[in-house]
Amino acid sequence: MKLSGDTIRKLILENGLVRDEKTTVFSKEKGKAMPYLEYVLSNVGPNNLDVRVGHQFFELKRSSTGFIDLHSKPDYEQLTCDRDGAYFIQPGQFCLATTMEYIKLPRNICATIDSRSSIGRRGLVTQTATNIQAGFEGTLTLELKNEAPVPIKIFPGDIVSQIIFEYLDTETSTPYNGAYQGQDTTRTPD
């Protein structure tokens, strides 16, 4: 069963479902600094939580062999921001980024991260690995792709994705405990 905005707010307040080390956040949407908890709660929708993209972007480099070997470690390169602190994602470009929000899922809740329609309509989509397993804790790695015919300018702190939470039918006895548990930055695959 998908969680309503009211349940998401309650879990944030009572169980620390989402957190950030900062005590205040500058809200671009509201044009002012806000206490972090108030800011996060303002980003809860009817059945989702909007999340911001962080400060690191990594691009998958072209392979010198002309293909990507799924049995070898992929080669990523960190993108550099422009003078304004923005990143440009080129048409067709695939890159990794991280949410600023740090989530902590209990054993009875899983989630999905997806594109926001307003961002997707501009050509920026959240790709493939959208399932977040029960018990996961950390920032979320975003797999972003520009499907537009022109570059997309993106700033750290832009709201680009949303999380949809769901209750499991029972609490899992094997919560997530993989390589990305506890991550607080963009991690490229090993």
Catalytic residue numbers read 143
Residue 111 sits at φ, ψ, to 5 deg, of -150, 170
Q: Which string of DSSP letters, residue by residue, matches the chain?
A: -BPPHHHHHHHHHHH-SEE-S-SEEEETTTTEEEEHHHHHHHTB-SS-EEEEEEEEEEEEPPPTTSS--TTS---EEE----TTS-EEEPTT-EEEEEEEEEEE--TTEEEEEEE-HHHHTTTEEE-S--EE-TT-EEEEEEEEEE-SSS-EEE-TT-EEEEEEEEE-SS--SS---STTTT--S-----
